[in-house]
Amino acid sequence: MMVAMVMISTSGCGKPRPVGFVAGMSGPTSEQGVTERDGARLYVESKGRRLVTCDTRTDPATVARCVEALADSGVRVVIGPMYSSEAESALAAATRRGILLVSPSVSTHRLSGKDDALVRVIGSNLDEADTLANFLLRSGIARPVLIWTRLNEAYLRPVVDRICSSYARRNLPIPSIHEYSSSLDLDFDSVVASHRNADAFVSLGTPMEAALLARAIRRSGSDALLLGCQSSVGKDLLRMGGKDAEGVILTGFTELVDRVPERVRFASEFRTRFGRERSWAATLAWEAAAVSEPGWDASDLAQAKKAILRTDTLRPLGLPIVLDRFGDIHRSIALHVVRDGRIELLEWPEAGP
């Protein structure tokens, strides 16, 4: 297990506990994992605490060992995990060790409505799937191809199934589906070539993978629309995709455009500290850290969750965070578009309920 941890002594009565963090900070998911870590760190350190981090490599077995190691370091609350595919393993370890997980980005609906050791500041993947399906259908897309990575099956397979069901309910042909394993040397040219009649491709993977797909589509001469899910949003999409990424439609559980003072201030602080722009993952991780604060020094898991859920509506970055009794949240989906190398909000009536 590759674990990078900043160990903090918790000996002595009354000393503040450290705050834990787990995410895949190496490999194909490193862009999201590192920026989530930095968003959480910015908040935690502003409160005079230190963040104890562990790289899960987006592996279910490793994330469980990370939670165990963080419990040994004295944490009560862990910010994470990052991917839905890690959640069940992380939950089992957290429950066993009395740790509360507060996740920025685990959106699988399979964990909704459960009184467990998980609190989330991101909404359900089914809401995102419905937004994608509504956009495709209202845009008259008849032959979409859904391209998804098995790396995060718990998040993405339900999205694929939900979009297909939306077409089936309207007696329309079911979208074509292509699944793959994430790696650093993917080639989507053959996939695009085998779907020459496609009028849209939906990238359900990492920002790098969305960029590679955009390049393959344009190399083929196709003018098919490209859409991406929340996990496809990132600097690699713009950096690697370049002009080929122009016009890509992206979903987001949080807006990527700073329109309120709290967001502007956070973006400035993040840029000053880390020398780059904040991302959606950094934003949700900062919010997860803010939500988790009442539970940092709780006596046990139950008290940590109770302290968080009894807190009045939070607006750490200007938008309300309202948790239900299970620690779940509903968030509207914001649609974005890539224009002139930047991600902008897309005005669309079906952006979310």
Residue 332: predicted pLDDT: 85
Distance CA 219, CA 297 (A): 55
Domain 126-252+334-345: CATH class, spelled out: alpha beta
**Taken in order 337, 162, 141, 185, is the CA torsion positive or negative?**
positive
What pLDDT does 353 receive?
36
8 Å CB contact between 244 and 215 = yes
pTM of the model: 0.89
Residue 191: closest CA among 154, 229, 149, 151: 149
- The angle formed by the CA atoms of residues 210, 4 and 34, to the nearest 5 degrees, is 30
Q: What is the edge-to-edge ordering of all strands in the sheet holding 77-79?
A: 51-55, 19-23, 77-79, 100-103, 118-120
For residue 308, how far is the Cα from the chain centroid? 21
CATH number of 19-123+258-309: 3.40.50.2300
Domain chopping of the chain, boundaries: 19-123+258-309, 126-252+334-345
Reading across the β-sheet that carries 176-180, which strands appear in turn?
176-180, 144-149, 200-204, 225-228, 249-252, 334-339, 342-345
Instruction: Name the one residue in this structure whose structure tokens are 């849209």.
Output: 200
What pLDDT sits at residue 148? Answer: 97
> What pLDDT, on a 0 to 100 scale, did the predictor assign at position 14?
65
Quote the pLDDT of residue 10: 39
Task: Say if residues 155 and 108 touch (Cβ distance below 8 Å).
Answer: yes
pLDDT along the chain (353 residues), means of 10: 41 75 94 96 97 96 98 97 96 98 97 96 96 96 97 95 98 97 84 97 96 97 96 94 97 84 94 95 96 96 96 82 93 92 82 39
3-state secondary structure of 53: strand
Three-class secondary structure assignment of 150-197:
HHHHHHHHHHHHHHHHHHHHCCCCCCEEEEECCCCCCCCHHHHHCCCC
Report the distance separating Cα 50 and Cα 42, nearest Å. 10
Rg, Å, the chain Cα set: 20
